[in-house]
Structure formats: structure tokens, C-alpha cells
Structure 1
Amino acid sequence: MRIDSAAYASRWRDVAPAAKAQFALAGALAAWIAQGHAMLACIAAAQVAVTLLGARVSPRTYLATAMPPLGFLLVSCLNMLAAPAADGTWHWASASLPAIARTALRSAAVLASLLGLVLTTPLPHLLALLRDLHVPELLLDLMALCYRTVFVLRQAWDEGVTAQSARLGYGDWRRAWRSTGLLAGQMAVQVWERAGALQAAAAARADDGRLRFLPTAFPHARRDQAMALAAGAVLLALAIGEHL
């Protein structure tokens, strides 16, 4: 929900998705090429600055979206720092700290590139871009159906919580746990029923296996792609220069 809201509220909502994808890909490639800690940190900071200042994404939304993968990255780095010894005990592998720091910075830079794309591009635009790249239609249809299902389930869940709260279903922690379990079980049944209804509706309309969307026009697509290529080329040039 948060990512979708940020994409529609982004200043770059009407920028050609191909241009944003090119810049994100260039940032990810620059992160893989760069070796120095300072350069990797600069690439990550540049991607974050472009998303926050250029696309005007809310810092709170950006931080909330980035926290789960960053938390996973932190746990992974701590796991890499702990190494088993010959006697079966564990100790801190301080000698591998530079390599771990490089891996963490590279992962953060790639994550910043990906967030810059998803937080500024609505899903219909991404689907259109993937269709232009000849991604199999089955995968695109699954993405669209999952996207729609998220909103349907969120609405059904909110309505269920409201109904249970009106019947004092969350008066104490025991009732809250029981109400949550009952609602989760009912949601599983609703998902099954709605999936069957969706399949029946598609079959009744002689569905050919492809979902169609209204095309979106981007009048400044060439200009956007030229600017993205120029900015991406700068990142790649800095990474290659530092690597050499």
C-alpha cells in the first residue's frame, strides 16, 4: 500500500518508465563494478538523493520501505561476522570486516536503485514496460492479479476488524487473539471463493489469457530517456574509473 501510494504521489509519476528503469539499472551496474567503500557509499547516496529530492518521495515513506530489507542486510552482516573456530566455538571474524562492509554498501546501493524505480513508478506503468520487454504474459497477468488481490483483501480485512470491534472482539488480549484467528481463517475461505469467481468470470468472457490495460502516453519519453542515459553514464564512468 505504501509503495503504491508513493508511486502515484511521486513527482516523476509521468516520467517514462523506461527512463527510470535505465537509470536504476545503471546504478545497480555501477554498484557491482565499484570496489571502494567511498565510491559505493557515493552511489547509494546519489540514488537516495535523486529519489528524495528529484522525485519528491516522502523521507518517512522511503525509510519505512527500506527498513525491512536493511534489517535483513544487517542480520546477514552480523552472521558473516560470526565464524566457527576449530574447537566448535564461535568468534568474531574481524579480518573479514572490510569485505563485509563492501558487500553491505554494494547491497545498499543496489537497493537504493531499486527503490528509486518502484517508489516512482505505478504498477500499470511497470507492466507496460515489462510487456514491451517481451516478458511472458502469464507472469504479467499473475502480477496484475496479485496486485488487485492485495487491495481486495485489505478491504475485506478492515471490514472484518470493524465488525469484530463493534462486537467487543478486541476487548482484551485473549479475545483479540481469538478474533484475529477467526478472521484469518475466514479470509482464507474468501480468497479461495473469490479466486474461483474470478476464473469463472474470465471464462464467461471468453478470456484469451491476456489482461489488457489502457495505454499511457509519455510525451517527453525521448527527453526522459536521454537524461536517464546521461545520468547513468556518469555513474558508470565514475565506477569504472575508480575500478581502474
Structure 2
Amino acid sequence: MTLERLAYASPWRRIAPSAKALFCACAMAAAWLTATPLGACALALLLAAITVAVARTPWRDYLRVLRAPLGFLALSCLTMLVTITPGDHGPAGWRLAPELLPPVMMTVTRAAALCTALLLLVLTTPLGDLLGLLRRLRVPALLLDLMALAYRMQAVLGEAWSDGTTAQRARLGYVGRRQALRSMAALISCMAVQVWARASALQAAADARNDTGELRFLTPQFDRSPRHHLMAALAGVMLVATVLAGGPA
């Protein structure tokens, strides 16, 4: 729930979600148009600086959120540099392929730029505002309902997991490695049953209220929306033009 907490506390909370999405879409287009790893890395650093300095996201929280995708990209980079050596009767073994480093670096830096563009949006826009924007963009209602339910279940199960681990620690459930594994396995099995029970309860509640298959949400009104859209479009176009001026994709 760190993303949602930071989104509600962001000074950009009152900016129209469509304006922020427009700028982030231009940033993603610029990431795809970058021709060199250095340009993609510079774009990623620029978007991170905008998120921290302009949108005023706390840098410690930003690094904490960014740690998981950067770790995934680093692991992907290592795996892409490993190739299979063919043999007469199948694979002969594994080896590092340094000749693949240029395309791998291009892929990883471009993915990092795309990731920072997406984080700029989700760290400044709560899920409710994103759902309202997606509804205006004619995204299927079933997909939006699944997103809302998954978000709700994540919050509920996160709280239940925290309460469970607190209760287990109070009973010395993590005094040793073996005891910790046993306690964690018991909690996971209990949580699996709770997920099933809560899903059944949600379905029963929806049926009891004659659910029509679509959840409704109040959409907040945003001030100075035309100004925000104009600024987002100008900034996005400048970003794409800067990338194109750096060289062909």
C-alpha cells in the first residue's frame, strides 16, 4: 500500500489524471524512441528527478519503491547475457555472451525509462482517479471491477498478514529458523483459506444486492484542467522532440 499512500499525499494529487497520463504517455513514447542506452538512462534519471523534485515524492520512499523493478531488471540483464552452446546431440553447456551486451543494455535502460514514467503516474494518482480515467477511455467495465476488487483484497489481506505475523511473534513463533518456517507455512495456509472465504463473501454480498456486474465510483472534479492538459502536452512534446533530436530510433 506504499504506492497508494504516496499518491494520496502527493502535491500533484489535485492535477487532472488525464493530464498526468498524457505526459507519462509522451515519456513512454520518448523511451521507445531513444537510440542509445545513454539517452535512455538520461531519460530515466530525468523522470526520476521530476518525480522527486517537482512532484515532491520523498526520495527514501521513491528508492524503496524503485528497488524491486531495478532488481528485476538487473536479474534480467544477467540472464540475457547467458546463452546456450549447441552441441552435436543437444545443448553442450552454458556460457556468457559479451557480444550481446549492447542490445541487452539498450533493452534494460529503455525498460528503466518506461518504469520511471509509469512510477511518475502511479505515485501521483490514486487508484480511484485512475479507474475514473480508464472508464472515460472506454476500458471494459469487467476489467475495472477486477482491478478494484484486487486492490481491495490486497489491502485486506495485507492487514490480515500483518496481524497474523504480530500474533505469531508475540507467541515466539520466529525464535528460530525452523520455527519461523513452520509459522510462515501455517500463516500462508490460513491466508489461502481466508482468500477463498472472502471471495465467496464478496460474491454473496453482490448477489444479495442484485448486482448488475458493474461497480460505480464517484469521479472527483479537478480545477484548471485545460491548463494542466496544455502544460502536459507541451512538456511531453518537448521531451519527445529532444529524444528525436538526439538521433534516429
Bin of the TM-score, shorter chain as denominator length: over 0.9
Counterpart code for 2:110 = R
Q: Note the residue ranges of structure 2 that are not aligned, 5 or more in a row.
A: none
Query: After TM superposition, what 4+ stretches of structure 1 lie above 4 angstroms from structure 2?
Result: none
Distance apart, 1:225 and its partner CA? 1.0
8 A contact 1:36–1:242 mirrored in 2 = no
Task: Give deviations 1:133-185, integer Å, cap 9, x for gaps.
Answer: 11000110110011111111122222222333333333333332222222211
Pick the aligned partner of 2:161 from 138, 157, 175: 157
Note the aligned Cα RMSD (angstroms): 1.7
Aligned residues: 244
Supply the distance in 1 between the matched residues of 2:151 and 2:179 (Cα, whole angstroms): 31
Corresponding residue for 1:99? 103
CA contact (8 A) 2:55 2:124 kept: yes
Deviation, structure 1 residue 132: 0.6
**2:10 maps to 1:10:** yes
Q: What are the equivalent positions in structure 2 for 1:204-219 lying under 5 Å apart?
A: 204-219=208-223
Cα distance in structure 1, aligned partners of 2:78 and 2:174: 38
* CA distance in 1 between partners of 2:54 and 2:178 (Å): 48
What is the DSSP-based 3-state SS (H/G/I as helix, E as strand, rest coil) of the residue aligned with 2:12?
A: coil
Alignment of 1:33-48 (within 5 A): 33-48=33-48
**TM-score after normalising by structure 1:** 0.93
Report the AA paired with residue 62 of structure 2. Y
Q: Percent same amino acid at aligned positions?
A: 48
Q: How many Å separate the matches in 2 of 1:129 and 1:43?
A: 26
User: Secondary structure of 1:83's match?
Assistant: strand
Partner SS for 2:83: strand
Q: CA deviation at 1:89?
A: 4.3
- Equivalent position SS for 1:29: helix
Shift in alpha-carbon separation, 1:198–1:89, aligned structure 2, 3 A: closer
TM-score by length of structure 2 reads 0.91
* TM-aligned CA distance change 1:207 to 1:42, over 3 Å: same
CA separation of 1:179/1:90 partners in 2, compared to 1, >3 Å: closer, same or farther? closer
Q: In the alignment, residue 18 of structure 2 is paired with which amino acid? A: A
User: What is the CA–CA distance in structure 1 between the aligned matches of 2:64 and 2:143, rounded to whole Å?
Assistant: 28
Cα pair distance change 1:173/1:224, threshold 3 Å: same
SS in structure 1 opposite 2:216? coil
Gaps of 5+ in 1: none
Q: Which moved more, 1:150-159 or 1:47-56?
A: 150-159
The answer for the alignment partner of 1:178 in structure 2 is 182
Q: Which amino acid aligns with 1:243?
A: G
Counterparts of 1:101 and 1:207 in 2: how far apart (Å)?
50
Say whether residues 1:221 and 2:235 are aligned partners.
no
Q: How far apart, in 2, do the equivalents of 1:148 and 1:209 lie?
A: 17
